[in-house]
């Protein structure tokens, strides 16, 4: 089972109904804590949390660290990011690489990509297949099952 979390909605409800950018540590902390609470109340059979960044403007390095890196370090489940723009990736990738972490990004066509530290990214994809949470297409791309 997949849990869907709308980050833009979390931002609007928890921090600001005006701004759409994920900037500053305090903002990142509040948004992460809301996401963690939502994940904690999810059904027991949720194996994947899909964190949807659609509608989020800018993400700075502080928020990438405070939200994505800390969720990866503290939450045992599988995280999949969606609605990720090139600008979002610019912040998320180097932050994760610095922590030797990786995260899954679901592209608009549903295929998965692991970004961050190359070693961690390869291990993440292997784990996903081993746990049968994702399957390879004949073309070699991965999608969630």
Partner 1 sequence: MTRLVEVPTQFDDRSFDQFASAFAEAAKDGERLLFDAHAAEWASPYGLVGLLAAGQAAQGTGRASGGSGERPLLTAPTHADVLTYWTRAGFFREAAELFEIHGKVPRVKPAEESDVLLPVTPVRAAEDVHAVVSNIQQRASAILASELGLDPKATMGFAMALSEACQNIVEHAGTGGWVAVQAYHWRRKLAKRVVVIAVADAGVGFRHSLEPTQSKRFGTRWGDAAALEAALIQGVSRFRDPGRGQGLAGIRRYLTRWDGKIAIRSGTARIAIVPKWDDDVPLKDGLPAFPGAQVLIIIPEQGSTKR
Provide, rounded to whole angstroms, the least separation between the CB of residue 123 and partner 1.
Answer: 20
Please report whether residue 6 would count as binding partner 1 according to CB under 8 A. no
Please report whether residue 32 would count as binding partner 1 according to CB under 8 A. no
Please report whether residue 97 would count as binding partner 1 according to CB under 8 A. no
CA distance 93 to 110: 20
How far is Cα of residue 18 from the mean position of the Cα atoms in its chain?
23
Nearer to partner 1, 64 or 144 (CB): 64
Nearer to partner 1, 60 or 125 (CB): 60
CA distance 65 to 57: 16
CA distance 121 to 51: 18
Q: Binders of partner 1 among 55-74, rule CB under 8 A? A: 57-62, 64-66, 69-70
Q: Do residues 11 and 55 lie in contact, with contact meaning Cβ atoms separated by under 8 Å?
A: no
- Scanning 37-45, 88-96, 107-115, 123-131 for contacts with partner 1 by CB under 8 A, the matching segment is 88-96
CA distance 43 to 7: 19
- DSSP letter for 67, please: I
Residue ranges that bind partner 1, judged by CB under 8 A: 16, 18-21, 23-27, 57-62, 64-66, 69-70, 85-88, 90-91, 94-95, 98-99
């Amino acid at each position: 089972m997949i849990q869907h979390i709308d980050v833009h909605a979390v931002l609007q409800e928890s921090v600001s109904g005006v701004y759409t950018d994920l900037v500053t540590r305090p903002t990142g902390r509040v948004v992460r804590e809301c996401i963690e609470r939502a994940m904690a109340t999810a059904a027991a059979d949720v194996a994947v949390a899909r964190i949807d960044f659609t509608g989020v403007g800018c993400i700075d390095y502080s928020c990438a660290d405070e939200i994505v890196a800390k969720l990866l370090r503290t939450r045992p489940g599988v995280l999949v990011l969606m609605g990720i723009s090139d600008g979002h990736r610019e912040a998320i990738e180097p932050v994760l690489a610095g922590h030797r972490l990786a995260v899954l990004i679901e592209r608009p066509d549903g295929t998965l990509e692991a970004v961050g530290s190359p070693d961690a990214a390869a291990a993440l994809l292997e784990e996903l297949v081993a746990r049968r949470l994702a399957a390879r297409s004949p073309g070699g791309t991965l999608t969630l099952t």
